[in-house]
Amino acid sequence: EDGVTITAGRDRIATYDSSEWATRAFCKSCGTTLFYKLKSVETFSAQAGLFDLPDDLGINEHIFIDEKPGWYDFKDDAPRLTGAETLAKYAGSLDE
């Protein structure tokens, strides 16, 4: 319905409503997080590790940067948004 086609392993995917506005999916066998989907819009965020991606693929932005563990750091220059900045930027899409 939203342009995403799962071609294999569909019977191993479990989904649940993680909030009023989003659904999450994970593998029933190993528990790996697979995707996050906003309910109100056609936004579907899948884990990059699910795909064969080119080595030179970049990151556009980091979100909820203030919630990352202190021992973790990013080595790129992509914009970094706090949780408040992320919600301010994308909250409009939650109401549509």
Please report, in tens digits, the pLDDT of each residue of the chain (96 residues total). Answer: 556 777 778 889 999 998 888 889 999 999 888 988 887 777 778 888 888 888 888 888 999 999 999 998 888 899 999 999 988 887 765 554
Instruction: Measure the CA–CA gap between 96 and 40, rounded to whole angstroms.
Output: 6
Determine if the pTM surpasses 0.85.
no
